[in-house]
Amino acid sequence: MKHAIKAEDAAALVPDGARVLIGGFMGVGSPHRLIDAIVARGTKNLTVIANDTAMPGKGIAKLVSAGCVSTVIASHIGLNPETQQKMIAGEIDVDLVPQGTLVERIRAAGVGLGGILTPTGIGTLVEEGKPKITVDGRDYLLETPIHADFALISAYRADYVGNLEYALTAHNFNPIMALAGDTVIAEPHHIVPVGVIPPDSVKTPGILVDHLLERQPDGS
Amino acid sequence: MKHAIKAEDAAALVPDGARVLIGGFMGVGSPHRLIDAIVARGTKNLTVIANDTAMPGKGIAKLVSAGCVSTVIASHIGLNPETQQKMIAGEIDVDLVPQGTLVERIRAAGVGLGGILTPTGIGTLVEEGKPKITVDGRDYLLETPIHADFALISAYRADYVGNLEYALTAHNFNPIMALAGDTVIAEPHHIVPVGVIPPDSVKTPGILVDHLLERQPDGS
Amino acid sequence: MEAKEIIARRVAQEIQPDTLVNLGIGLPSLVANYLPNDVHVFFQAENGVIGLGARPPEGMEDPDLTDAGGGFITAVPGAASIDSAVSFGLIRGGHLDMTVLGGLQVDERGYLANWMIPGKMVPGMGGAMDLVAGAKQVIVAMVHTAKGAPKILKECNLPLTAKRRVSLIVTEMAVIQPTEEGLLLKETGPDASVDDVISATEANLIIRGDVPRMRL
Amino acid sequence: MEAKEIIARRVAQEIQPDTLVNLGIGLPSLVANYLPNDVHVFFQAENGVIGLGARPPEGMEDPDLTDAGGGFITAVPGAASIDSAVSFGLIRGGHLDMTVLGGLQVDERGYLANWMIPGKMVPGMGGAMDLVAGAKQVIVAMVHTAKGAPKILKECNLPLTAKRRVSLIVTEMAVIQPTEEGLLLKETGPDASVDDVISATEANLIIRGDVPRMRL
């Protein structure tokens, strides 16, 4: 059983310079209270691995604006001009990875694979510096795992074992990232007693989750 | 929308010599009516890719007994002495693959990867003939995709779009195999109208399923 | 008719019933508006839903249900929520029948560039590289020229999205099919002659007999 | 006390609270019977459940809920159903705290052989290779000898399950920890002296000071 903790206590677990996976797609399904707590704490030099950096004022964009981030590994930063400006100004390193490759590299880290072979990126800038391997006459890039110290994820519903359910397009990277962080902190919308979530509805088994964020004090 | 078809009509789709993925683990979560229909039809020379060949009289074991199978790719045949006897007698080729490698190779075929690097099997007989690749100082085997002409799977509940839900340990290989057969035939316990299965409960999107088996005539 | 409407209407004709289709954000997303009512397809939003529905009525938005551009959507009956690994597994694994994408450039080889302008605009490739590498059919939907300059070139000078010949290029001026021999002009736009298309195109075009007009 | 009970009782002492544990079929599965009531762990059955519960009362079996041996089980509150890709993802990815497996042979390097006897018995490795390669701790639970012949050898002559040093060997005669220097005898069984263990073992054993008896 896990006791739910306050967002500020969860944020305090993440040190300066940590590598953090953050769930969400353009802010949908991101752990918003946890992000706010990290901004409030003023954590520095984070390497953020996420699909995108959202749009100004939302989700991961707040970490970028607050100067918490030194490196971004993402598939898309197009809706966040600030990330692009900081990249051009040399304040943030940005590593762009195709979305399907990004999620498979995170999964590989989570499930103990040494890498995967993907056709995506063959013949493009993405193949620079990567081994090319031919299988059955077709070329693939060898893409290696992306490990992280933390996975900061969002979920629809949790129980106190840490089992998680997700809603609609707020799944996105969250269930995969839950496999790949050394420490996994989940921010659920709801927390229910153990036994309420049916086994077939659990998408992240609780044994993967280290910390649960408590609900909002007002119950929302 | 898909019209549910009879087991005998589904079995008729599978020609002699086909490569078929069959879901199930020791018979749990196998498409039993479809297997019976293939046995009744007397299909020959199947290459069966499955976790195991169950135990005599159950599931895939019936295909082995009926002489439908010429090759088995599986992780375990220990509870089926008949498979072992036929292997020793040279009547069936058996390729043994570690269970976690088997499911990842099937997944790789289903999700368009050219292979995966796994530590499983390093330093054992399994590594014979396979490229060894070092990533971050650790050795991995390159394991290649396992494609198939058909995936014959079992599910708990379907709708007429073909969306599937699975129950408890009857998930096993079914959701992964649904990705990897050129033609996917699903045998559900129940079929419900479209819209009854919530989007978050769907584990195999209907667009992957080509044919649904009708319910038993007696409604069971 | 506006250029975008011509393009969207023409692309809509390419969509086959009972398929899975991914529409990119911007111009491609307009295609859904022109699908005949009796053609049932499932639209995928690569952020995680199969069975994307129309925009919800005001006040009925669900913050957990958006498309890949972040806009609110609904889900049709029979929809499925999927995570990003499954979503891109479907794309890379050849389960997506068609993707419709915008383009910056396409060339005689049928190669597409649509994800960056070095030194100027680096949004990232998002899902585009996977979509072009993995979808069964790739349709590029774009206006024919950019400020008068051709976008259909002998060879792309912007970084490629994939080294894969796209299936079809649809602009307001032309429908062009990349083939092994080069770019085949299949149709001209409602307001464009064959000569108009040739002069607005840098790439060589293969012209076989009479080229019909689009029927919209 | 029977050999199997000694082994199961002793292995149970190794299990830490709030961990994820996989018990192999046969002897290892007995370990669950000897876990103290106040130690909460989740048991995984690799065929697809986390939170394996006891055997159901007669008549309450669910054909869709079995363990890796095909026996009927129940699920504890907080259980999760998972597919084989997730199940082995957890195993290979280092999320499984402990696996307890049977053994045919273990050697001085701590390497385990437990999946085939060439020309005689080829059941297949099932999940064993992944479990030994991936679990944080690997405990081999087996009787010390087979028909009087040692099973703890200088070097395995049966095909290896993995080239990985297992964490602990527990038999009815001894608790042995494989180390970089070799096999360290940590405890003797309730009815075995150090000399008894040495003579029933082909491998060299490292013996440091007084070797305590198991406390069961």
Q: What is the CATH number of the domain that holds A93?
A: 3.40.1080.10
- Write down the pLDDT at residue A216: 74
Contacts of A110 in chain B (CB under 8 A): none
Q: If pLDDT is split at 50, 70 and 90, which confidence band does B49 have? A: very high
User: Which band of pLDDT confidence, cut at 50, 70 and 90, is reported for residue B131?
Assistant: very high
Dihedral sign from CA coordinates of A118, A124, A127, A132 = positive
CB C51 within 8 A of CB B206: no
> Coil, helix or strand for A38?
helix
Residue B97: what pLDDT?
Answer: 98
B26 C-beta neighbours (distance < 10 Å), count = 27
Q: How far apart are CA B15 and CA D148, in angstroms?
A: 52
Task: Write out the residue range of the structural domain in which residue A165 sits.
Answer: 7-111+145-212
| A207 vs D42, D77, D134: nearest CB | D42
Cβ–Cβ contact B122 with D under 8 A: yes
Give chain D positions within 8 Å (CB) of A202: 79-82
With contact defined as beta carbons under 8 Å apart, do B27 and B59 qualify? yes
**pLDDT value at residue C119:** 81
pLDDT per residue as tens digits for the range C76-86: 999 999 999 99
> Is B142 at the interface with chain C, CB within 8 A?
no
pLDDT mean across residues, chain D: 96
Q: Which CATH number does the domain housing residue D125 bear?
A: 3.40.1080.10
Is A17 at the interface with chain D, CB within 8 A? no
Residues from chain D contacting residue A110 (CB–CB below 8 Å): 89, 93
So what's the pLDDT on residue B217?
A: 63
**Residue C68 carries which side chain, given as an amino acid letter?**
A
Percent of chain C with pLDDT over 90: 93
Task: Check residue D119 and give its pLDDT.
Answer: 81
Q: Which of D46, D108, D172, D187 is catalytic?
A: D46
Please, how many CA atoms are within 13 Å of residue B220, restricted to the half-sphere of its CB?
A: 2
Instruction: Report pLDDT for D125.
Output: 96
**Shortest CA distance from A158: residue in chain D:** D78
Output the CA angle B187-B203-A163, nearest 5 degrees.
130
- Mean pLDDT (whole number) for B101-116: 98
* Residue with the two structure tokens 């790949």: A180
> What average pLDDT does the segment C29-40 reach?
90
Residue B123 lies in a domain: no
Contact check, Cβ <8 Å, D82/B171:
yes
Return all residues near A56 (Cβ < 8 A) that are at least 6 apart. Answer: A65, A80, A81, A82
pLDDT digit string, tens, across residues D62-79 = 999 999 999 999 999 999
Instruction: Return the number of CB contacts < 8 Å for A and B.
Output: 74
A161 domain-assigned? yes
Give pLDDT, residue A218: 61
Of D132 and D24, the one with more pLDDT: D132
Note whether D93 contacts A111, CB cutoff 8 Å: yes
Instruction: Give domain status of residue A18, yes or no.
Output: yes
pLDDT of residue C187: 98
Tell whether ipTM is more than 0.90: yes
pLDDT at D39: 87
Against chain B, the chains showing at least 3 CB pairs within 8 Å are: A, C, D
- Position D214 in a domain: no
**Looking at the whole model, is its pTM more than 0.95?**
yes
D122 pLDDT more than 70: yes
Can you tell me which residue has the tokens 């199997």? D4
Please report the pLDDT score of residue C197 as a whole number. 98
pLDDT of residue B218: 61
Range B211-216 average pLDDT = 91
| Nearest Cβ partner for B169 among D81, D92, D163 | D81
Tokens of D9: 């009782």
| pLDDT (0 to 100) of residue D82 | 98
Q: Is the pLDDT of residue A215 over 90?
A: no
* Residues of C catalogued as catalytic: 46
D215 within a domain of the structure (yes/no): no
In a domain, B157, yes or no: yes
Instruction: Please report residues of A whose CB lies closer than 8 A to that of B167.
Output: 200
Count of domains forming chain A: 1
What average pLDDT does chain C have? 96
Number of domains, chain C: 1
CA distances from D1 to A182, C39, D190, D196 (A): 42, 73, 9, 17
Calculate what percentage of chain A has a pLDDT beyond 70: 98
Structural domain contains residue C213: no
The backbone torsions φ and ψ at residue B111, rounded to the nearest 5 degrees and listed phi first, read -110, 15
Chain A residues inside the 8 Å CB shell of D81: 199-200, 202
Q: Does the residue A133 lie in any domain?
A: no
Residue A121 and residue A163: Cα distance in Å, rounded?
Answer: 35
User: A83-119: per-residue pLDDT in tens?
Assistant: 999 999 999 999 999 999 999 999 999 999 999 999 9
Answer yes or no: is pLDDT of A199 > 60: yes
Average pLDDT, rounded, for chain B:
96
State whether residue B21 sits within 8 Å of chain D by CB: no
**A140 domain-assigned:** no
Cα separation, B99 vs D85, in Å, equals: 9
- Please answer yes or no on whether D130 and B101 come within 8 Å at the CB atom: yes
D49 forms bridges with which residues in the sheet? D45, D81
Per-residue pLDDT at B219 exceeds 70: no
pLDDT tens by residue, A8-53: 999 999 999 999 999 999 999 999 999 999 999 999 999 999 999 9
CB nearest to D124's CB, from B75, B104, B121: B75
pLDDT at B1: 84
Give D11-54 pLDDT, tens digit per residue: 999 999 999 999 998 899 999 999 988 889 999 999 999 999 99
Secondary structure class of A216 (helix, strand, coil): coil
Mean pLDDT confidence for B31-46: 98
B100 at interface of D, judged by CB pairs closer than 8 A: yes
- The rounded mean pLDDT for chain A is 96
Of B27, B100, B203, the CB nearest to D92: B100
**What pLDDT, on the 0 to 100 scale, is given for residue D51?**
96
Q: Would you give the DSSP letter of residue A93?
A: E
- Lowest mean per-residue pLDDT among A145-149, B213-217, D110-114: B213-217
Q: How far is D131 from chain A (nearest CA, A)?
A: 12
Residue A56 sits at the vertex; the CA angle it makes with A51 and A61, to the nearest 5 degrees, is: 45
- Name every residue in D having a CB less than 8 A away from some CB of A: 20, 40, 42, 49-51, 75, 77-82, 85-86, 88-95, 134
Q: Do B205 and C50 touch (CB under 8 A)?
A: yes
CB-nearest to C160 from A104, A124, A176 is: A124
Query: Residue B8: is its pLDDT beyond 70?
Result: yes
Domain span at residue D168 reads 3-206
- At C56 the three-state DSSP class reads coil
